[in-house]
Amino acid sequence: MVISKKPLHFIVATLVAFLPLVTVANPTNDSTTVEHTSVTTEAKTEHHEGESKDLKTEIKEFINHHLQDSYDFHLFSYEDDAKVEHHIGFPLPVILWDNGLQLFSSSKFHHGESAAESNGNYYRLFHGKIYKVANADEQVAVDAKHHVTNEKPFDFSITKNVFMMLVVSIIMFLLFTSLAKSYAKNGGIAKGAGRFFEPIILYIRDDIAIPNIGKNYKKYMSYLLTIFFFVWFLNIFGLTPLGVNVTGNIAITAGLALITYLITTFTANKNYWGHIFWMPGVPAPMKLVLAPIELLGTIIKPFSLMIRLYANIVAGHVVLMSIIGLMFIFKNWLGSSLSFVLAFALSLLEILVAALQAYIFTMLSALYFGAANEEHYNDDAHH
Amino acid sequence: MQIPTIVGAGLIVIGAGLGIGKIGGSAMDAIARQPEASGKIQTAMLIAAALIEGIGFAALFAS
């Protein structure tokens, strides 16, 4: 037993032994980046206060840019010695409906620097949105209230968020179908990744679905499992350096909450509607007061689902990126290592939040489904 | 013009923080009394905390 454990001990010991090297390697890396940034900013402006303000707005713009959806998958960009900016990433297809289908690559925008041409129409990127312009040289016009006056075509583009959702869907489809097949092959025993995912699936069934929904739980299992793994995987992808922010987009959480709302509404039994429109067991005037409140409650419930997931992920990303951004403001070894440690600890917390938010979304969805499916045990229950 | 909404959001966040703190503290007490029920207590705690958190975030984004 002792001998068989030795390789693991050895690996752990080596990893621990190499940890100091990693921490030493990082500050030197950071300091070179900081020096580089300070050189470029000093070249731009000599004024000391102006320099720090520029850096702050730059960090703010970077965070805002990260939170937005974009038309190309942009990994990182850098300036070479000749001060030429290089963007690393790949373009995604732009699909517009504007007097017919307009299909072209987002590389035509040249990162918003020039207008894209498709079938004689010209389009220009402005604050992450596509607007129609009359010719290649025209800019997007804004009125006095900062509203864009240009026409906006119907946009069905495969943006970064849509692309990531497709990727996660494909991963989930391949992963779980292969797991299901492996059960048939191994005589009902999980193997490989199934050993990791089986307890999670059983937890969702035994601790989320059955206690909250009751005997009708099977109807909802597919949705609960899908929503849990979809949200969880997307949250985890948001923490990778790929820089995706899918669950931190209110349109996507709104879509997920809308599905929960529709399922709740369309699978509800007569007791659910009875409790909304004519609450049993309370005096008649009170029933009239309660009906609009309960009806509003059905909409507020998915609304809070939407806000909760969106706000948690956005808050996590903003705080994490701000702490990383502090590195470029402090510009010394103490601040850099402090922000490195803080960012590391916060990343660990964010991994927890990623799973927790997926769990909460699933749990509350199950709770709403359970409320829609409650059986009327006996008439005296409310008296 | 901005100040009243910011103060209101701050008050709501204070309230939400107090509420979540109370839930966490009570859950700790409950687990200390009945360690065998810690799983159920944790679940109930998370749901209650999530519901309050939603209000806090709604206030933050309204301001």
First to last CA, chain B: 11
pLDDT of residue A360: 92
State how far Cα A315 lies from the chain centre. Answer: 11
Is residue A118 domain-shared with residue A186, that is, in the same domain?
no
Q: Tell me the HSE value of A141 on the side-chain side, using a 13 A CA sphere.
A: 10
Is residue B3 within 8 angstroms of chain A, CB to CB? no
A8 is a domain residue: no
A304–B46 CB contact, under 8 Å:
no
The nearest CA of chain B is from the CA of A305 a distance in Å of 8
For chain A, where are the alpha helices, taking DSSP H only?
Answer: 2-44, 48-67, 160-185, 194-203, 210-213, 218-239, 250-267, 270-277, 284-330, 333-372
B53–A207 CB contact, under 8 Å:
no
Burial class (CB in 10 A: 0-12, 13-18, 19+), A181: exposed
Is residue A222 domain-shared with residue A295, that is, in the same domain?
yes
User: Are A322 and A67 a contacting pair, CB within 8 Å?
Assistant: no
Structural domains counted in chain B: 1
Q: B residues 4-43 near A, CB within 8 Å?
A: 39, 43
Does the predicted model carry a pTM greater than 0.95?
Answer: no
Residue A340: helix, strand or coil by DSSP? helix
Is residue A149 domain-shared with residue A172, that is, in the same domain?
no
Is residue A206 domain-shared with residue A346, that is, in the same domain?
yes
pLDDT of residue A245: 87
The nearest CA of chain B is from the CA of A109 a distance in Å of 32
B51–A304 CB contact, under 8 Å:
yes
Contacts of A312 in chain B (CB under 8 A): 53, 57
Contacts of A363 in chain B (CB under 8 A): 43, 46-47, 50
CATH code of the domain in which B33 resides = 1.20.20.10
pLDDT of residue A11: 53
Is residue A300 domain-shared with residue A354, that is, in the same domain?
yes
Is residue B60 within 8 angstroms of chain A, CB to CB? yes
In which residue ranges of chain B is pLDDT below 70?
Answer: 1, 63
Structural domains counted in chain A: 2
B7 is a domain residue: no
- Domain final residue pick, A112, A138, A157: A157
* CB-nearest partner of B47 from A207, A307, A363: A363
Is residue A167 domain-shared with residue A219, that is, in the same domain?
yes
pLDDT of residue A147: 79
Ramachandran region, residue B25 (left: φ > 0; alpha: ψ -120 to 50; beta: rest): alpha
ipTM for the predicted complex comes to 0.76
* CB-nearest partner of B57 from A308, A356, A359: A308
B32 is a domain residue: yes
Q: Both tokens of residue A79? A: 């300036």
B2 is a domain residue: no
- Domain final residue pick, A111, A133, A157: A157
Is residue A373 domain-shared with residue A248, that is, in the same domain?
yes
pLDDT in tens, A64-100: 888 888 888 877 778 778 777 777 888 888 888 877 7
- Of A35, A36, A55, nearest to A45 by C-alpha is A55
Domain that holds residue B24: 13-62
Nearest CA in chain B to A208: B43
Contacts of B47 in chain A (CB under 8 A): 360, 363-364, 367
- Element counts in chain B: helices (H) and strands (E): 2, 0
The DSSP secondary-structure symbol of A81 reads: T
Is residue A190 domain-shared with residue A116, that is, in the same domain?
no
Contacts of B53 in chain A (CB under 8 A): 308, 312
Domain that holds residue A185: 161-382
* Angstrom distance (rounded) from CA A3 to CA A7: 8
pLDDT of residue A52: 60
Is residue A216 domain-shared with residue A325, that is, in the same domain?
yes
A51 is a domain residue: no
Q: Both tokens of residue A171? A: 């991963």
Q: Both tokens of residue B46? A: 């998370």
Q: B residues 39-58 near A, CB within 8 Å?
A: 39, 43, 46-47, 50-51, 53-55, 57-58
pLDDT of residue B63: 66
- Residuewise pLDDT in 10s, chain A (383 residues): 344 445 555 555 554 554 444 433 333 334 333 444 444 444 443 444 555 668 888 888 888 888 888 888 877 778 778 777 777 888 888 888 877 788 888 887 777 777 777 777 788 877 777 888 777 777 777 777 777 777 778 888 888 899 999 999 999 999 999 888 888 888 888 877 888 999 999 999 998 999 888 888 999 999 999 999 999 999 999 998 887 889 988 899 999 999 999 999 999 888 888 888 888 888 888 888 899 999 998 998 999 899 889 988 998 898 888 888 888 888 788 888 889 999 999 999 899 989 999 999 999 999 999 989 887 665 554 54
Is residue A217 domain-shared with residue A117, that is, in the same domain?
no
